[in-house]
Structure 1
């Protein structure tokens, strides 16, 4: 076998070299720049510096700013208004002098003069619903923007400030030098929106039957913008879709609500014994020791009783959080509340759910268990969850995340019935939103610029966590499902998008606001890319080690895309520039097929090509090994005579002269069949070539040729194959691992009707 491979390579090299010489033309082509798909990403990447190294790790000069908040918040439940006062202490850890500070006013996206509606396309449709007609043409726009009453220093002196839509510039009395701190105060209020009717990432849902609201409150306070080494102030306007970039800091927040409300949010509840009843405290202490089933802190009977009346008294809940980038909370008298402990490493974390009775029985069955499962899966893939709790809040039509708390959809009908779609949808959104605690709440990427860095990485890890959940909780699976039916992650699920109209597809490396098909671009495609990278290209061990290295390098820091790309290569010794370029910087798609398969037989009869080669190299034609292609004169006779390569006199002589007896003994499988398989690549995306060969005896062999096989010819490549068994079928990407958009060219021969191809087509259809 070794001899054959040597001779065959020599033969192919000689013939290809001869072909190249014969094909020289008199007219030379113009030169060109390097357009190779394997070109390194030096032009796309920033030059490493003292802040961010070429390895993808933070550099010796890396810094980040800190913003600490002390807040007093009150919700007027009758008028659905939020009032707040805050003191912000800003620390300048940068080496730069700062003349002013930028503060985000994200609620202004709902201000009456908001320009967000003006950038969206709108048309008059021939028919629409009555509600849509009223909302679009008759209803006055909701005034949900911030009303800033005061901006002062801590001595009560007014600070000059300017509001530009969703950003406010605060002028400093004197420039801040490196290491300086500055404290200032803001007083504000705003009308809370009905997020069910008017949309938005936070707000309230109104329950008409008992005149109650359930609040999910976020972006409720003026928040410091990020200042970093990449672009200085990140003061890009909030248009409503691409989310937030925020610095880390410490929060002390007092929230006053009606006395009969149940409330939870970011941070440690520091006055638990003041706001809990004795029964609630007993149940809470029990929950801290319950690792298998949630413990009800507030029961459904208690919640239903509370929603029938309204207290005129008030209660203040005090929350304190360290090293978080944001703050959110939820409150209502309608809430049931359950908790369960989760063991992570050497500490316990509390998995928590808040939901109105409208969420049951689904939420009581699966919400907190989904939280607990997520904490375990994400900790395994990255690092142990560092906070003391993770909360899932039921909110209609919501899916949004904040440190330690998130809101999630999924509601049964009024009789408590729900479909598989509702159940899986609820579990998946909980996994996704709880997972955002890692991306971007801790691994604090810039969502405003690179949406995929939080949504895509999180959706990939969500897929891993969903599969874990299905394995750990088989009772949650429907009878027909052997594994959790993840919507995003598997390669075949992205095929329709990848092969779609190029006019409406943007590269992943596009600012979130400007992408077409936001869900596919920011969530599905990067998640699929990483899943392919893990399963098909790198392997789980290399990928998981590198992914964890990235997470640990950049937890509680501000990574960029390049930091991720570089770390994945640095920790694995796998050159992935070709992969990042194809999947993240282009809209290329995968289409790899079989162009042709040629069969050859060994013959002892010299041919014309051999005579030319022998003459050119001054050797005896009898010293060459000859191959004859199927369909050529003499092929059938060679097959009939069964000429074996190791029976040729010159081959025997070569073996005797060049191989030891032990090596000769290894040559026990004489190849009888020879093939030249040519694979083509109509698609632009470089991917590994995964091939399954089927033999006449029904056995199969799988071969994965690395993506580098395309490095010298991006259009087609050929592989010479010697086999002691006849090949009757060749299939490219048999398990649909590469998101191939056209599988009609993936099988040879075209007319194959064996059960394997039928199964293959069934995979494609599904």
Structure 2
């Protein structure tokens, strides 16, 4: 990693080609342990070779003042904004690129046209709608774009990207102010499957609005790629610019609004009772309901007329999102991170109340504490969880799922699913809302790092937490898939087939292995925190992470990044053979006895035993003249001078040789094959004759001279009865059947098929029935 060459960002869309480039083609070594070299971009004044921001590092800034009005009757959002754009780059800019993410919902958008489809035996309405399209009139309608004086600016819309042509070049260190007025029809999130939109509740004729990716947002202009104006296809999320926000949201008068940042006018928009509870929540040590369930249900049935405007401000954030509805319970409590207060809050409907009132806000607080311990202290004043039957993240606010049954019960899987999704989405405040990676290119830098931190937070919540992503053995089913169904982690978001395993689970597993097995917690935790500190509120690339982890730990990890992030090789290390050796004692009595056992074993076979049992008269018995010296010779007889011979041998040994001789070690030669291709450490558990166990941990560098097959000899004080490779399933080995000596049978179970269906109740309901 010390000699990287210049490489453009375009490399990362074709990393498979480079990842397979070999330094020593045709050889069994000199490939997997070579430095990444040309795979990484060249360090420069903007990004140093250590992985830290360089002395000339820069990034753009965009401040927003937004006025928005939610038209509930017509399901439309009307908005206007003033953007102040700061050119902190060394480059003059003649145009600006703005994201129009809502355009992905247009019937003519690229992401709609490029989706493959097929006729199934049973087709749903959604299936047909995806094929023939929907007449929803979706997408952003730009009303006008002007400079701050009101002079119209020319612009071009290309699908989800808007280019604004500037009347004069925006020079370095200058700023430019522009105004955009727009509107769009809000989509039905349950049908369009978008991150934001509305959900309609027919039982009470009400809506829940989650307003996300809702305003024209500045695209990123950076030192490593220029404008990030890759089209939004729906999967690769958002590369965004930090700035300050002031947002005025006009909504129906009985709606409750939660948003990024802090509300500036609670006294004007809350009832006296709710305002009092809000003030009490500032010191509450448990969630306190500002809007309770009874009040939320009352608002559902008594729709108010009129409108209210909620004003929020947020500093140094990369985005802004909000929720608005009359059918929300709202609770809050204070939590402290390094002495700084943050309000942990939740908004949720009646159907989520049984589980969200118990867990949501407490999980928010737990997440902030756990992530802060492993990265940087949470810097924002608010962290919000909203139940919206989906999962998506924004600064200080996120949307999650999890609704109970009508009787208030829920399954255990739902409970843990709710806790996990809240941890995950709140955790996104750190990655990518603070450590601001480019999700459009590298999903794993956002989702993978966050899923890894989620795993640590889950395990800190409950030592028996059933985490599904992070433990090494849980990624095995994905890594053993055929190569044509896999792609490296370092693959662009839109090109990934198995998105969840690739961008979430595999990088999270890799980092967990790095922490627990490769580096150890102390070195890993220090280096990971250093990465978070270096790149908080900045735009890191994969190279910045890779370099920082090595720079702060003095651990060469290029082989690890190469194997786990740039290839599709799985881990499959086979323990082929175990050979037992013992030092010759040079004592005839001992050695001859051992030799006799071996001789008799080698010369014992079934036909001989049967011949003897049948009473066959052998030739030498019928004709004794055939007998000679060797028929009576005992080749294992101990000579009369045996003791004297041994003493002479022993006396000839030097002091160190005598120590080795007297140690009476047992020697075991183990042969390993790397069948999967991904080099990993050898973790060997020995079980001795007396029942005790011992574990040896051999670094992955043991493979550097032969990446395919190696042998290694171990000296043990006690006799070994079995050997187990990777006993705690730390390495994600895809075939455990070849990890033991002697080989172990792989057990599983089957059951008699029953045609009748089991009753569809959960354990909580069954418990209530038993009580009743």
What's the TM-score, normalizing by structure 1? 0.86
Deviations 1:308-357 (A, max 9, x none): 12222110000011100000000100010000111111111111000111
Report deviation, 1:244.
0.5
Match of 2:233 in 1: 239
Report deviation, 1:30.
9.7
Does 1:461 find its partner at 2:462?
Answer: no
Q: Secondary structure at the match of 2:685?
A: strand
RMSD: 2.7
Match of 1:478 in 2: none
Q: Distance in 2 between matches of 1:630 and 1:415?
A: 77
Does 1:576 find its partner at 2:575?
Answer: no
Match of 1:146 in 2: 140
Does 1:447 find its partner at 2:442?
Answer: no
Match of 2:111 in 1: 116
Q: How does 1:581-600 map to 2 (within 5 A)?
A: 581-600=562-581
Match of 1:230 in 2: 224
> Of 12, 33, 42, which residue of structure 1 is paired with 2:37?
42
Match of 1:616 in 2: none
Q: Distance in 1 between matches of 2:648 and 2:481?
A: 58
Q: 1:501 to 1:142 in 2, by over 3 A?
A: farther
Does 1:522 find its partner at 2:503?
Answer: yes
Match of 1:135 in 2: 129
Q: Distance in 2 between matches of 1:528 and 1:640?
A: 61
Does 1:404 find its partner at 2:396?
Answer: yes
Q: Distance in 2 between matches of 1:631 and 1:449?
A: 67
Does 1:414 find its partner at 2:406?
Answer: yes
Deviations 1:472-509 (A, max 9, x none): xxxxxxxxxxx110110001100000001111100000
Match of 1:200 in 2: 194
Deviations 1:143-191 (A, max 9, x none): 2200000010111111010110000110111111110100000000000
Q: Distance in 2 between matches of 1:686 and 1:629?
A: 40
Q: Greater Rg, structure 1 or structure 2? A: 2
Deviations 1:380-401 (A, max 9, x none): 00011000010000001x1000
Query: Where in structure 1 are there 5+ consecutive unaligned residues?
Result: 1-28, 472-482, 607-624
Q: How many residues align?
A: 686
Does 1:536 find its partner at 2:535?
Answer: no
Match of 1:389 in 2: 382
Q: Distance in 2 between matches of 1:543 and 1:175?
A: 46
Q: How does 1:19-58 map to 2 (within 5 A)?
A: 35-58=30-53
> Of 303, 306, 322, which residue of structure 2 is paired with 1:313?
306
Does 1:426 find its partner at 2:397?
Answer: no
Deviations 1:585-615 (A, max 9, x none): 0001000121111122333679xxxxxxxxx
Contact 1:456 1:522 in 2 (8 A): yes
Contact 1:669 1:724 in 2 (8 A): no
> Of 250, 255, 260, which residue of structure 1 is paired with 2:249?
255
Deviations 1:79-121 (A, max 9, x none): 1100000000000000111110000000000123212122111
Deviations 1:504-549 (A, max 9, x none): 1000000011012000000000000000001111111111110000
Q: 1:137 to 1:543 in 2, by over 3 A?
A: closer
Report deviation, 1:632.
7.3
Deviations 1:699-723 (A, max 9, x none): 1110010000000011111121222
Report deviation, 1:658.
8.0
Deviations 1:424-468 (A, max 9, x none): 111100000000000000000000000000000000000000111
Q: 1:640 to 1:458 in 2, by over 3 A?
A: farther
Match of 1:354 in 2: 347
Query: Where in structure 2 are there 5+ consecutive unaligned residues?
Result: 1-23, 603-633, 750-772
Q: How does 1:306-345 map to 2 (within 5 A)?
A: 306-345=299-338
Does 1:510 find its partner at 2:485?
Answer: no
Contact 1:693 1:727 in 2 (8 A): yes
Report deviation, 1:725.
1.6
Q: How does 1:285-296 map to 2 (within 5 A)?
A: 285-291=279-285, 293-296=286-289
Contact 1:496 1:741 in 2 (8 A): yes
Q: Distance in 1 between matches of 2:648 and 2:237?
A: 74
